[in-house]
């Protein structure tokens, strides 16, 4: 029986509701002929997100701000990472250049928690729960990646095969890059019955063909490089010019000897090397020529990384470093800085934004700050983790706080801080998903931190010489950008003249509360060149609609007119500027 006939029979069945028939038809059409099959398992937090929207609220007392105004801004988000990722879908969609995660390996030894319960080896849905858990997060991770972005995932044998198939589905099999084997232990335990496992994998997938791994610095034995003829290009070693299967032609040595052979390069290339003084002729000029491979070229060009990562730091070294910083054993099996720095060398640029949504002990941020200090980069890091057993506050945050401020090892050695870094701490929160006027206004107010993160602008500043009344709006600015959030749309006629006096360098990003998609362009007509406009909360609803679990709407944004009529017409706007926080400036 073909699918069309089966569909007709399902539709004709008695005793089933329309919803039940729809569910059966959907299952029939979803059936795979090839690939990974697992049973979707609902999460408690997923059900919460059917009716609630994520926002981020800053714990301002945890902020660490550098004296250097050009320091990169790093973020720690405390909360379930499904909520954090959903919020980032608004702030960082298409902006993340590199994702590194070290998810639970689902060993069955109390390393994976699902709906507040450990998943053990006796759980018959063990693999389905893990795959369902990972799929939800990886699907959002994909939309966060930039065109040049890639994701690196540490994993071991327990879920490697399943994860590979899952990533093929989400990122596309054609976007698989490599699966390097990493040596995680430098010593082996002889407790296993058969094989002592000392390796794990790093799965690498790209977002698009625009992703390309960087070459890495070659490990060079400089003793092989000499400069006997004082070549101004520096030390070199010589390499053979001949190669079996190469181009056949004859050359004449400085002594007049004719050598016919198969050469590495075409004849025109040979003479270009000769004219550039890049050829050496042994035996007084009569031997086969060799070309100069300069040390400077070897260093600048780098080499392609291979798939055997045996020489990187082990997990034991990661644990030793964390213990030195925290003066205690506070986390099991932290990843070593050397691994993350190697991944940064492969997959990031100096201005990249890097995300780790299984942040654990916070190694990723530590490694990024070290890498920036070494190469002058301005990489930014976003860490996401829950606060189970106080891990986010007491380990992830505390570790990196000490790294920034400096710390003393147990042996008394003082380690200087990486002070050219800003660190901000946020906690997830949930608001009602019902689109009532009250909820919409609450969402816009609560989204201020989201907008600061989205635009990388955190410094509140005077607007036209004075601070705005926070009930009306808030204004943020730095050396390059300006951002204005208008909570009360009735203030627009009073705000526009202030914008006109400020000029248009740079343009002000104006987020204005609106019941729909109206950005009040007519009201801003006189300052069109000074601003870019965005209506809130519609932009947030649109971003979340693409990643949050589906729900049946009971109140639509198009119906808010009915509620607007309930607003009291005699309500006054109040004061535009906040007199209690007045700054100097012209009246």
DSSP string, 114-183: ETTEE--TT-TTHHHHHHHHHHHHHHHHHHHEEEEEEEEEEE-TTTHHHHHHHHHHHH-GGGEEE--EEE
Contact 52, 428 (CB under 8 A): no
> Pairing between strand 290-294 and 113-114?
unpaired
Which residues, 6 or more positions from 540, have their beta carbon under 8 angstroms from its beta carbon? 53, 90, 443, 447, 450
**Is residue 569 over pLDDT 50?**
no
* Sign for the pseudo-dihedral over CA of 203, 207, 208, 213: negative
124: its two tokens: 């018959």
Confidence of residue 586 (pLDDT cuts 50, 70, 90): very low
Which among 506, 515, 503 has a CA at the least distance from the CA of 481? 506
Is residue 293 within a helix (H) or strand (E), and if so which, with residue range?
strand 290-294
Which phi and psi angles does 476 have, rounded to 5°?
A: -125, 145
Give the pLDDT confidence score for residue 587 in this predicted structure: 30
Q: What is the pTM for the complete model shown?
A: 0.83
**Between 111 and 187, residue with greater pLDDT:** 111
Three-state DSSP at 559 gives helix
Is residue 517 within a helix (H) or strand (E), and if so which, with residue range?
none
298-322: average pLDDT: 88
392-408: average pLDDT: 97
**Is residue 104 over pLDDT 60?**
yes
- Burial tier of 184 (Cβ tally within 10 Å: 0-12, 13-18, 19+): buried
Give the pLDDT confidence score for residue 119 in this predicted structure: 92
**Residue 143's CB: how many other CB atoms inside 10 A?**
17
Contact 399, 325 (CB under 8 A): yes
427-456: average pLDDT: 96
Contact 307, 179 (CB under 8 A): yes
Is residue 462 within a helix (H) or strand (E), and if so which, with residue range?
none
**Is residue 560 over pLDDT 70?**
no
pLDDT tens profile 173-200: 999 999 999 998 877 776 667 788 889 9
**Residue 534's CB: how many other CB atoms inside 10 A?**
17
User: How do the residues of the chain divide into helix, strand and coil, expressed in percent and rounded to 5?
Assistant: 35, 25, 40
Which among 530, 468, 467 has a CA at the least distance from the CA of 499? 530
Three-state DSSP at 382 gives strand
Angle of CA points 497, 498, 502, to nearest 5°: 115
Contact 110, 120 (CB under 8 A): yes
**Is residue 462 over pLDDT 70?**
yes
114-119: average pLDDT: 89
Bridge partners (DSSP) of residue 202 are 154
φ/ψ region of 398 (left if φ > 0, alpha if ψ in -120 to 50, else beta) reads alpha
**Is residue 565 over pLDDT 80?**
no
Distance CA 390, CA 397 (A): 10
pLDDT tens profile 284-297: 888 999 999 998 88
Q: Which of 35-67 are b and which e, b meaning 16 or more Cβ less than 10 Å from the residue's Cβ? A: ebebeebebebbebbeebbbbbebeeebebebe
**Is residue 320 over pLDDT 80?**
yes
pLDDT tens profile 466-514: 889 999 999 999 888 999 999 999 999 999 999 999 876 789 999 999 9
Confidence of residue 269 (pLDDT cuts 50, 70, 90): very high
The tokens 């949050």 sit on which residue?
A: 548
71: its two tokens: 């320091």
Give the pLDDT confidence score for residue 556 in this predicted structure: 52
Which among 48, 54, 134 has a CA at the least distance from the CA of 99? 134
79: its two tokens: 């909360």
Three-state DSSP at 195 gives coil
Confidence of residue 582 (pLDDT cuts 50, 70, 90): very low
Which residues, 6 or more positions from 59, have their beta carbon under 8 angstroms from its beta carbon? 425, 426, 427
Q: What is the largest CA-CA distance in the chain?
A: 104
Angle of CA points 436, 442, 446, to nearest 5°: 145
Contact 533, 524 (CB under 8 A): yes
Distance CA 310, CA 182 (A): 6
Distance CA 168, CA 174 (A): 8
pLDDT tens profile 205-230: 999 999 999 988 877 788 899 999 99
Distance CA 55, CA 52 (A): 10
Give the pLDDT confidence score for residue 333 in this predicted structure: 87
Mean pLDDT of the chain: 90
pLDDT tens profile 26-75: 776 666 667 788 888 899 999 999 999 999 999 999 999 999 999 999 99
Distance CA 263, CA 246 (A): 5
Distance CA 3, CA 572 (A): 63
275: its two tokens: 């004219």
What is the Cα 28 distance to its own chain's centre? Answer: 36
Which phi and psi angles does 395 have, rounded to 5°?
A: -120, -65
**Is residue 167 over pLDDT 70?**
yes
Percent of the chain residues topping a pLDDT of 90: 72
Contact 468, 474 (CB under 8 A): yes
CA distances from 337 to 136, 277, 341, 343, 365 (A): 28, 43, 6, 10, 9
The tokens 């001949």 sit on which residue?
A: 242
335: its two tokens: 């990843």
């Amino acid at each position: 029986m073909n699918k069309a006939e089966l569909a007709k029979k399902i539709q004709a069945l008695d005793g089933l509701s329309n919803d039940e028939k729809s569910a059966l038809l959907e299952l029939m059409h979803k059936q795979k002929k090839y690939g990974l099959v697992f049973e979707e398992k609902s999460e408690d937090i997923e059900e919460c997100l059917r009716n609630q929207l994520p926002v981020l609220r800053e714990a301002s007392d945890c902020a660490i701000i550098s004296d250097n105004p050009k320091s990169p801004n790093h973020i720690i988000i405390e909360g379930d990472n499904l909520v954090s990722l959903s919020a980032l879908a608004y702030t960082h969609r298409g902006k993340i250049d590199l994702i590194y995660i070290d998810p639970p390996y689902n060993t069955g030894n109390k390393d994976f928690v699902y709906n507040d319960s450990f998943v053990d080896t006796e759980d018959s849905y063990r693999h389905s729960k893990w795959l369902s858990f990972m799929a939800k997060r990886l699907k959002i991770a994909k939309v966060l990646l930039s065109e040049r972005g890639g994701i690196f995932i540490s994993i071991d044998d327990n879920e490697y095969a399943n994860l590979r198939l899952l990533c093929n589905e989400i990122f596309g099999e054609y976007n698989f890059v490599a699966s390097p084997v990493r040596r995680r232990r430098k010593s082996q335990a002889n407790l296993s019955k058969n094989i002592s496992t000392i390796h794990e994998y790093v799965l690498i997938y790209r977002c698009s063909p625009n992703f390309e791994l960087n070459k890495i610095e070659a490990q060079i034995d400089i003793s092989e490089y000499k400069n006997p003829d004082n070549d101004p290009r520096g030390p070199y070693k010589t390499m053979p010019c001949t190669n079996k299967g190469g181009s056949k032609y004859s050359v004449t040595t400085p002594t007049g000897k004719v050598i016919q052979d198969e050469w590495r390069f075409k004849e025109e290339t040979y003479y270009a090397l000769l004219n550039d003084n890049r050829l050496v002729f042994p035996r007084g000029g009569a031997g086969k020529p060799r070309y100069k491979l300069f040390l400077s070229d070897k260093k600048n060009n780098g080499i392609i990384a291979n798939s055997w990562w045996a020489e990187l730091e082990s997990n034991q070294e990661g644990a030793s470093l964390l213990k030195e910083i925290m003066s205690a054993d506070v986390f099991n099996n932290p990843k070593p800085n050397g691994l993350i720095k190697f991944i940064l060398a492969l997959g990031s640029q100096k201005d990249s934004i890097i995300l780790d949504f299984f942040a654990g002990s916070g190694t990723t941020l530590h490694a990024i700050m070290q890498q920036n200090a070494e190469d002058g980069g301005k990489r930014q890091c976003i860490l996401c983790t829950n606060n189970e057993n106080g891990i986010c506050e007491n380990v992830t945050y505390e570790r990196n706080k000490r790294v920034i401020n400096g710390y003393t090892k147990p042996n008394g050695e003082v380690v200087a801080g990486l002070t050219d870094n800003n660190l901000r701490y946020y906690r997830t929160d949930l608001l009602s998903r019902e689109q009532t006027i009250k909820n919409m206004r609450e969402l816009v107010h609560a989204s201020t931190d989201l907008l600061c993160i989205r635009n990388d602008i955190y410094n509140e500043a005077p607007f036209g010489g004075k601070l705005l009344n926070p009930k009306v709006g808030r204004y943020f600015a730095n050396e390059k950008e300006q951002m204005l959030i208008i909570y009360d749309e009735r203030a627009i006629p009073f705000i526009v003249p202030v914008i006109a006096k400020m000029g248009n360098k740079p343009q002000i990003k104006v987020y204005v509360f609106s019941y729909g998609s109206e950005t009040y362009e007519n009201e801003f007509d006189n300052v069109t060149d000074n601003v870019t406009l965005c209506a809130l909360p519609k932009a947030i609803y649109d971003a979340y609609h693409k990643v949050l679990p589906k729900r049946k709407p009971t109140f639509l944004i198009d119906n808010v007119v009915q509620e607007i009529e309930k607003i009291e017409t005699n309500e006054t706007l109040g004061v535009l500027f906040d007199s209690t926080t007045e700054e100097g400036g012209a009246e």
